[in-house]
Amino acid sequence: MAGYIAFDLGASSGRAVLGEIRDGHLELEEIHRFGNRPVWLRGNLYWDILAIYREILEALSKVAARGKRVRSIGIDTWGVDFGLIAKDGSLIGNPFAYRDPRTEGAPERVFRKLSWERLYEITGIQLMTLNSLFQLYVMVEAGHPWLKIADRLLFLPDLLNYFLTGQAVSEITIASTSQVLDARKRQWSDEICNALGLPRHILTELIPSGHILGPLSEEVSRETGLKAERVVATAGHDTACAVAAVPASGADWAYLSSGTWSLMGVELPEPLISPEARELNFTNEAGVYGSIRFLKNISGLWLLQECRRIWGDRHSYEELVSLAERAQPFRCFVYPDHPSFLAPGDMPEAIRRFCRETGQDPPEDEGAFTRCILESLALRYRTVFDSIGKLLGRRPARLHVVGGGSKNRLLNQFTADALNVTVLAGPSEATACGNILVQAIADGELKGIEEGRELLRRSMQLVVYEPREPASWQEAYERYRAIERKYEAAGSG
């Protein structure tokens, strides 16, 4: 049997997964995993892209050592971040990380040259200071020396594909996270580039998900011992992969890709760009095979991950969930998307400070902190889910939760409770699954995305959560919503 290698690279860890379709089922095997953390250097936050690349080579070497035949290789990562390539093909510095503070205040300066209303009308992308547009604009403002020698801009999965193959192109799903892409035309926006003075010449050719880039370079094959004829530009954005792997049927469903970030939305055939969608800050990102991922970013399990880091990782996530189950319910809430929770730091202290500022008793131990975070996330999901219903004119009948957060049974139950809707959890490996599905479609082993989702329904066991105690959760939501409205009115939501 021959398999597909999916590199699924997240902001805190990366892994290589081998996928094979056998007897009508998708079988996955993790072959390599590694940590990934940005590095602070003289006031800026960077990704160690060469360390990530070294881990990719290590994974390919492991596959070669097993004598495994590879049908193709695909890479997905988080969105917005990019690297720059010089005319001689060399890498210019380490890419900045999206949590770097240099873009603070950039949107206000951009809007003096191109209004927020017009920017949204072109791109349909939600306002987040970490978007590629603002990252690039602050470099233009500062006359950053890297831009003077840059020949091409490559988003991270495209950059790593370039390392493997020498092909420098931009896959559509990852490009759409930039806020420089015209959502309707699916082309780079000359209007945005001209208005803001962005270097249009460094934006590379756009290609669809599933485009075959070619074989591994001779250099990579020599170093790893692996011969692979196909590197595929799979859905480069990890959320696009996760949505491709939602094992749903019919049309009346929404999804929640749950991990460090939570991304809640629906799959649409066309962008939904309207003043109402702009006011609610929803985004229209490109999905696979011409679809649109209409969604909203929510700061997800990042809050709990950062708390656990400060606590010294002395409890597993399952232990924290058990502690949270025994903690007092609805004691206090935080607004997960508050700016004070965005950057790495002392997250427990940030939560205490938020609670004191909003007249609430702060949590006192790990169980109480965990319960506060999980309840607050579920209640934030309620607001976003209701907004989706308002914009669509119908409330989805069920919510599919995919990604690593789908294993958090307490958060899943809280989500069903808060939304008063059926939640179906799984697969937890959705991003790797979607990565592999796109490769298999490119290879011709699958005919299309619907066949791929049917394959997943046969292969994965979903866990169903039904809502409980709607009255108590409604009361909690009203308390939470009063806090949330305060920060929405202040422009933090």
Residues acting as catalytic residues = 238
d(CA 139, CA 130): 13
d(CA 383, CA 45): 32
Q: Which two tokens stand for residue 419?
A: 């939304």
Question: Residue 280 is encoded by which pair of tokens?
Answer: 């609610």
Task: For 34-72, give one letter per residue: b (16+ CB within 10 A) or e.
Answer: bebebeeeeeebbbebeebbebbeebbebbbeeebebbb
Q: How far apart are CA 478 and CA 476, in angstroms?
A: 5
SS3 328: coil
- CA neighbor of 273 nearest in space, from 88, 116, 479, 435: 116
Residue 322 to residue 276: CA distance in whole angstroms: 40
Q: In sequence order, what are the beta bridge partners of 283? A: 295
Q: How is 186-199 classified by DSSP, letter by letter? A: TEE-HHHHHHHT--
* Residue-by-residue DSSP string for 35-72: E---EEETTEEE--HHHHHHHHHHHHHHHHHTT-EEEE
Helices (H) and strands (E) in the chain, counts: 19, 21
* Amino acid, single-letter form, for residue 426: G
Q: How far apart are CA 136 and CA 197, in angstroms?
A: 10
Tell me the one-letter amino acid at 70.
V
| Token pair of 449 as six digits | 């995305």
Helix H or strand E segment including 118? helix 116-123
Give the residues across from 261 on adjacent strands: 299
Q: Tokens 């399952």 map to which residue?
A: 318
Cα distances (angstroms) measured from residue 366 to each of 303, 318, 424, 490: 13, 12, 28, 30
End-to-end CA distance of the chain: 49
- Would you give the DSSP letter of residue 313? S
- 404: tokens are 């690593």
Tokens at residue 410, please?
A: 């307490």
Q: What's the token pair of residue 28?
A: 């996955």
Strands 211-214, 206-207: parallel, antiparallel or unpaired by DSSP? unpaired
